[in-house]
Structure 1
Amino acid sequence: MRSLTPLILFAASACFALGIVLPLIHVDRLYFFSDEPSLIGMVAALWSGGDWLLASVVALFSVVFPAMKLGLLHNAAYAHAGNAAAIPSWFRALSNWSMLDVVLVALVIFAAKTSGLATAFTKPGLWFFAASVVLTATASALIKRAPQTRQQAVH
């Protein structure tokens, strides 16, 4: 199972990159206006609209922390056996927020559909982002389990 970790990490990284640049949702408003924002596009629109705090929070939890977690997982996965890099416990706690974006987009879609003023549909970016979250969690579990398996084999 350990041999799958690099493949899972590569897939998680690719899905993350696609998830932040591809459109997350398609929104039609009043039959004339439509929009297909990506995660990066949403952050940029919030920033340019003057919502710097919200843009910063979304960017931090949606782009920066997941990218850092992927980097730490790559480091931990490819570290030499005697030099295994650990993922800090404070950073593991942040992974609980990984699905926050997916949930928020789902709520926006639900609100748009129930308001009657707009229709919204998921786009590939949302699915790639969700896949990245699941693959990252899987890789994290495999990496956490690997040292325990090595210790059991030694004893």
Structure 2
Amino acid sequence: MLLAITFGIFIVGLITPIITMTKFVLLENTFSVLSGALGLLKEGQFFLFVVITGFSVLLPLLKMAVLYQLLSAKQQASAHLDRYLHWMHLFGKWSMLDVFVVAVLVVAVKLGAIASVEMRVGLYAFTAAVVLTMYITARVVSLTDNLPTDTQETTVR
């Protein structure tokens, strides 16, 4: 259930505005994660588009999909449990929060002299989804660490 809530918050964080920039008091631009990524694509910034989309959209969705597989009742008894745990450890190393927060800070610092940057609700929703995903991942890993391994099961019998 918590994973479904996290997914919903993540979607809200992707589509709602994360920052509003006001330049020279007259011009105002509001960006969401998706609109910012699409803006990079339109401007021909393909590398930045791939990095932001990969780390802030695709990787978190893959991580949630693997978490769903781990949490499904059928999967807990499956032989694929170790493989999914391995994927979770790999995804954990590439947290979406690091790249995203650094990008927002760079924008805020670089534009501080010519524009004011206001953080919006999408940033908080996105951050909440990151934290919830990290919490769910930690809980799933700790619960699966407590499961008996094949060698323990054979020695008990």
Question: Fold conserved (TM > 0.5)?
Answer: yes
Q: What's the counterpart of residue 108 of structure 1?
A: 107
Q: What's the counterpart of residue 31 of structure 1?
A: 25
Normalising by structure 1, report the TM-score: 0.84
Q: What's the counterpart of residue 78 of structure 1?
A: 72
Measured in 1, the distance between the counterparts of 2:100 and 2:13 equals: 11
Q: SS of 2:146's equivalent?
A: helix
Q: SS of 2:148's equivalent?
A: helix
**Residue of structure 2 aligned with 1:147, choices 135, 139, 144:** 144
Q: What's the counterpart of residue 128 of structure 1?
A: 125
Q: What's the counterpart of residue 69 of structure 1?
A: 63
Measured in 2, the distance between the counterparts of 1:42 and 1:57 equals: 12
Which letter maps to 2:108?
I
Measured in 2, the distance between the counterparts of 1:131 and 1:149 equals: 27
Q: Would the aligned equivalents of 2:63 and 2:91 in 1 still touch at CA under 8 Å?
A: no
**Residue of structure 1 aligned with 2:50, choices 51, 56, 81:** 56
Q: CA deviation at 1:8?
A: 2.3
**Residue of structure 1 aligned with 2:5, choices 7, 11, 16:** 11
Gaps of 5+ in 2: none
1:54-100 CA distance string (max 9 Å, x none): 11111111101011101110111114231263425355334333212
Q: How many residue pairs get matched? A: 146
Q: CA RMSD in A?
A: 2.1
Q: CA deviation at 1:104?
A: 1.8
Percent identity over the alignment is 22
1:104-141 CA distance string (max 9 Å, x none): 2133223333x2x1000100111111111100011111
Gaps of 5+ in 1: 1-6
The structure that has the greater radius of gyration is 2
More displaced, 41-50 or 142-151? 142-151
